[in-house]
Structure 1
Amino acid sequence: MKICITSQGKDLESEIDPRFGRCKYFIFYDTETNQYEVVENPWREAPKGAGTQAGQFVASKGTKILITGIVGPGAQVVISSAGIKIVEAQGKVIDAINKVKK
Protein backbone atom coordinates (compact mmCIF):
# COMPACT_ATOMS: atom_id res chain seq x y z
CA MET A 1 0.00 0.00 0.00
CA LYS A 2 1.26 3.47 -0.82
CA ILE A 3 1.13 6.17 1.86
CA CYS A 4 1.83 9.85 1.19
CA ILE A 5 3.09 12.01 4.05
CA THR A 6 3.57 15.78 3.86
CA SER A 7 7.01 16.51 5.26
CA GLN A 8 9.23 19.40 6.24
CA GLY A 9 12.34 17.40 5.32
CA LYS A 10 13.64 14.68 3.01
CA ASP A 11 13.79 11.69 5.35
CA LEU A 12 11.58 9.62 7.63
CA GLU A 13 12.89 11.36 10.76
CA SER A 14 11.56 14.70 9.47
CA GLU A 15 8.55 16.43 10.99
CA ILE A 16 5.18 16.19 9.26
CA ASP A 17 4.38 19.42 7.44
CA PRO A 18 0.90 20.51 8.57
CA ARG A 19 0.11 22.32 5.29
CA PHE A 20 -0.97 19.88 2.60
CA GLY A 21 -0.98 22.08 -0.52
CA ARG A 22 1.97 24.17 0.63
CA CYS A 23 4.13 21.48 2.24
CA LYS A 24 7.84 21.39 1.44
CA TYR A 25 7.96 17.72 0.43
CA PHE A 26 5.79 14.69 -0.24
CA ILE A 27 7.16 11.38 0.97
CA PHE A 28 5.60 8.38 -0.78
CA TYR A 29 6.11 5.27 1.35
CA ASP A 30 5.38 1.74 0.10
CA THR A 31 4.36 -0.54 2.99
CA GLU A 32 5.10 -3.69 0.97
CA THR A 33 8.73 -2.85 0.16
CA ASN A 34 9.47 -0.35 2.98
CA GLN A 35 10.98 1.91 0.31
CA TYR A 36 10.18 5.59 -0.08
CA GLU A 37 10.45 8.38 -2.61
CA VAL A 38 10.77 12.08 -1.76
CA VAL A 39 9.28 14.66 -4.12
CA GLU A 40 9.64 18.41 -3.64
CA ASN A 41 6.25 20.12 -3.81
CA PRO A 42 6.21 22.16 -7.05
CA TRP A 43 2.95 23.93 -6.04
CA ARG A 44 4.27 25.23 -2.73
CA GLU A 45 4.55 28.81 -4.02
CA ALA A 46 1.56 28.70 -6.41
CA PRO A 47 -0.61 31.83 -6.16
CA LYS A 48 -3.77 29.70 -6.03
CA GLY A 49 -4.94 26.13 -6.46
CA ALA A 50 -1.94 24.58 -4.70
CA GLY A 51 -4.05 22.09 -2.76
CA THR A 52 -6.08 20.97 -5.75
CA GLN A 53 -2.99 20.44 -7.90
CA ALA A 54 -1.19 18.65 -5.07
CA GLY A 55 -4.26 16.44 -4.56
CA GLN A 56 -4.28 15.44 -8.22
CA PHE A 57 -0.57 14.65 -8.05
CA VAL A 58 -0.91 12.54 -4.89
CA ALA A 59 -3.80 10.62 -6.47
CA SER A 60 -1.78 10.01 -9.66
CA LYS A 61 0.91 8.27 -7.59
CA GLY A 62 -1.52 5.55 -6.45
CA THR A 63 -1.77 6.81 -2.87
CA LYS A 64 -4.25 5.03 -0.57
CA ILE A 65 -3.60 7.00 2.65
CA LEU A 66 -2.56 10.64 3.05
CA ILE A 67 -0.95 11.68 6.34
CA THR A 68 -0.92 15.44 6.82
CA GLY A 69 -2.24 18.31 8.88
CA ILE A 70 -4.77 20.65 7.28
CA VAL A 71 -6.38 19.88 3.92
CA GLY A 72 -8.31 22.71 2.26
CA PRO A 73 -11.77 22.21 0.76
CA GLY A 74 -10.63 22.05 -2.88
CA ALA A 75 -7.97 19.46 -2.15
CA GLN A 76 -10.38 17.53 0.07
CA VAL A 77 -12.77 17.05 -2.86
CA VAL A 78 -9.99 15.80 -5.16
CA ILE A 79 -8.53 13.46 -2.53
CA SER A 80 -11.88 12.05 -1.41
CA SER A 81 -12.98 11.52 -5.02
CA ALA A 82 -9.83 9.45 -5.58
CA GLY A 83 -10.74 7.23 -2.61
CA ILE A 84 -7.75 8.33 -0.54
CA LYS A 85 -8.15 8.18 3.24
CA ILE A 86 -6.93 11.32 5.05
CA VAL A 87 -5.21 10.87 8.42
CA GLU A 88 -4.43 14.01 10.39
CA ALA A 89 -1.17 13.74 12.30
CA GLN A 90 1.76 15.65 13.71
CA GLY A 91 5.23 14.65 14.84
CA LYS A 92 7.77 12.59 12.93
CA VAL A 93 7.00 11.01 9.57
CA ILE A 94 8.23 7.56 10.67
CA ASP A 95 6.03 7.56 13.78
CA ALA A 96 2.93 8.34 11.71
CA ILE A 97 3.81 5.60 9.20
CA ASN A 98 4.22 3.05 11.99
CA LYS A 99 0.84 4.01 13.49
CA VAL A 100 -0.93 3.58 10.16
CA LYS A 101 0.81 0.25 9.46
CA LYS A 102 -0.51 -1.30 12.70
Structure 2
Amino acid sequence: MKVCITAQGATPDAKVEERFGRAPYFILMDSETEAFEAVANPFADGAGGVGPKAAQLILNHQVAVLISGLLGGNAKAVFESAGVSMYIYRSGGSVLDALKEFKNNTLERAK
Protein backbone atom coordinates (compact mmCIF):
# COMPACT_ATOMS: atom_id res chain seq x y z
CA MET A 1 0.00 0.00 0.00
CA LYS A 2 1.31 3.46 -0.87
CA VAL A 3 1.51 5.81 2.11
CA CYS A 4 2.33 9.55 1.96
CA ILE A 5 4.00 11.11 4.99
CA THR A 6 4.73 14.84 5.25
CA ALA A 7 8.41 15.46 5.92
CA GLN A 8 10.96 18.17 6.65
CA GLY A 9 13.57 16.40 4.51
CA ALA A 10 13.88 14.06 1.53
CA THR A 11 14.55 10.75 3.34
CA PRO A 12 12.62 8.43 5.67
CA ASP A 13 14.93 9.52 8.50
CA ALA A 14 13.63 13.10 8.22
CA LYS A 15 11.30 14.47 10.88
CA VAL A 16 7.60 14.45 10.11
CA GLU A 17 6.35 17.92 9.14
CA GLU A 18 3.15 18.72 11.00
CA ARG A 19 1.75 21.18 8.44
CA PHE A 20 0.45 19.33 5.39
CA GLY A 21 0.28 22.14 2.81
CA ARG A 22 3.56 23.70 3.97
CA ALA A 23 5.54 20.45 4.15
CA PRO A 24 8.81 20.78 2.20
CA TYR A 25 8.60 17.13 1.12
CA PHE A 26 6.15 14.30 0.79
CA ILE A 27 7.70 10.88 1.35
CA LEU A 28 5.80 8.20 -0.57
CA MET A 29 6.46 4.81 0.96
CA ASP A 30 5.42 1.26 0.23
CA SER A 31 4.06 0.05 3.58
CA GLU A 32 5.38 -3.47 2.98
CA THR A 33 8.84 -2.98 1.43
CA GLU A 34 9.52 0.53 2.80
CA ALA A 35 10.78 1.54 -0.65
CA PHE A 36 10.33 5.30 -0.92
CA GLU A 37 10.19 8.27 -3.24
CA ALA A 38 10.64 11.87 -2.07
CA VAL A 39 8.46 14.47 -3.78
CA ALA A 40 9.32 18.13 -3.22
CA ASN A 41 6.29 20.30 -2.48
CA PRO A 42 6.28 23.17 -4.99
CA PHE A 43 3.45 24.85 -3.04
CA ALA A 44 5.19 24.96 0.38
CA ASP A 45 5.98 28.68 0.12
CA GLY A 46 2.77 29.69 -1.68
CA ALA A 47 0.71 32.68 -0.62
CA GLY A 48 -2.50 30.81 0.13
CA GLY A 49 -4.71 27.91 -0.87
CA VAL A 50 -1.77 25.53 -0.85
CA GLY A 51 -3.57 22.63 0.84
CA PRO A 52 -5.85 21.62 -2.05
CA LYS A 53 -3.03 22.08 -4.58
CA ALA A 54 -0.68 19.89 -2.53
CA ALA A 55 -3.48 17.35 -2.06
CA GLN A 56 -3.96 17.09 -5.82
CA LEU A 57 -0.21 16.60 -6.27
CA ILE A 58 -0.36 13.67 -3.82
CA LEU A 59 -3.43 12.17 -5.51
CA ASN A 60 -1.51 12.13 -8.79
CA HIS A 61 0.78 9.56 -7.11
CA GLN A 62 -2.11 7.18 -6.28
CA VAL A 63 -1.62 7.09 -2.51
CA ALA A 64 -4.05 5.20 -0.29
CA VAL A 65 -3.03 6.73 3.05
CA LEU A 66 -1.85 10.16 4.21
CA ILE A 67 -0.03 10.78 7.50
CA SER A 68 0.49 14.37 8.68
CA GLY A 69 0.16 16.51 11.78
CA LEU A 70 -2.38 19.10 10.73
CA LEU A 71 -4.75 19.05 7.77
CA GLY A 72 -6.82 22.02 6.69
CA GLY A 73 -10.46 21.54 5.83
CA ASN A 74 -10.01 22.09 2.09
CA ALA A 75 -7.19 19.55 1.78
CA LYS A 76 -9.17 17.12 3.93
CA ALA A 77 -12.16 17.45 1.60
CA VAL A 78 -9.99 16.64 -1.44
CA PHE A 79 -8.64 13.48 0.22
CA GLU A 80 -12.07 12.43 1.50
CA SER A 81 -13.59 12.70 -1.98
CA ALA A 82 -10.76 10.55 -3.36
CA GLY A 83 -11.14 7.88 -0.65
CA VAL A 84 -7.71 8.46 0.92
CA SER A 85 -7.45 7.46 4.59
CA MET A 86 -5.94 10.23 6.74
CA TYR A 87 -4.04 9.83 10.01
CA ILE A 88 -2.58 12.27 12.52
CA TYR A 89 1.03 12.00 13.73
CA ARG A 90 2.34 14.58 16.21
CA SER A 91 4.99 12.65 18.13
CA GLY A 92 7.95 14.58 16.71
CA GLY A 93 9.60 11.51 15.23
CA SER A 94 10.83 10.52 11.81
CA VAL A 95 8.92 9.38 8.75
CA LEU A 96 9.92 5.80 9.60
CA ASP A 97 8.57 6.26 13.14
CA ALA A 98 5.22 7.42 11.72
CA LEU A 99 5.10 4.49 9.31
CA LYS A 100 5.82 2.08 12.17
CA GLU A 101 2.95 3.55 14.22
CA PHE A 102 0.66 3.27 11.18
CA LYS A 103 1.58 -0.41 10.77
CA ASN A 104 0.93 -0.97 14.49
CA ASN A 105 -2.51 0.70 14.18
CA THR A 106 -1.67 3.28 16.85
CA LEU A 107 -2.30 6.45 14.83
CA GLU A 108 -5.41 8.55 15.28
CA ARG A 109 -7.64 8.93 12.22
CA ALA A 110 -8.12 12.50 11.04
CA LYS A 111 -11.65 13.72 11.72
| 1:2 maps onto 2:7 in alignment | no
Work out which of the residue numbers 97, 100, 111 in structure 2 matches 1:98.
Answer: 100
Distance 2:60 2:80 in 1: 13
Q: What are structure 2's unaligned runs of at least 5 residues? A: 105-111
Paired residue for 1:62?
62
| Cα displacement (A) at 1:40 | 0.9
Distance 2:70 2:100 in 1: 20
SS at match of 1:43: coil
4+ runs deviating over 3 angstroms? none
| Cα displacement (A) at 1:13 | 1.3
Q: How many residues align?
A: 102
Paired residue for 1:49?
49
Distance 2:85 2:54 in 1: 15
TM-score, structure 1 normalization: 0.93
Distance 1:45 1:8 in 2: 13
Distance 2:58 2:77 in 1: 13
| Cα displacement (A) at 1:34 | 2.3
| Cα displacement (A) at 1:32 | 3.8
SS at match of 1:57: helix
SS at match of 1:63: coil
Q: What are structure 1's unaligned runs of at least 5 residues? A: none
TM-score, structure 2 normalization: 0.86
Q: Which amino acid in the other structure matches residue 44 of structure 2?
A: R
Q: Which amino acid in the other structure matches residue 45 of structure 2?
A: E
